Amino acid sequence: MTAKKPGANYFKGPIEARLEHYSTRDPKSKCIIWWGATNGEYGCVGYQGKIRLTHDLTYELAKGPVPKGFELHHRCKNKRCRNLDHLQVVTRGQHLRLQPRRWVGQITHCKRGHEFTAKNTYIKKNGRHACRACHAAWQRAYKRRRLTEAATLTA
| pLDDT tens per residue, range 63-96 | 999 999 999 999 998 999 999 999 999 998 888 7
44 and 116 fall within a common domain? no
pLDDT in the model for residue 137: 94
Quote the distance between the C-alpha of residue 40 and its chain's center: 4
116 and 86 fall within a common domain? no
Per-residue pLDDT for 5 more than 70? Answer: no
The answer to whether 100 touches 93, Cβ cutoff 8 Å, is no
d(CA 151, CA 138): 20
1 found inside a domain? no
Q: What are the angstrom distances between the C-alpha of 11 and each of 19, 45, 72, 77, 94?
A: 10, 11, 27, 28, 37
User: 21 lies in which domain range?
Assistant: 15-98
Question: How many domains is the chain built from?
Answer: 2
Q: Assign 41 a pLDDT band (cuts: 50, 70, 90).
A: confident
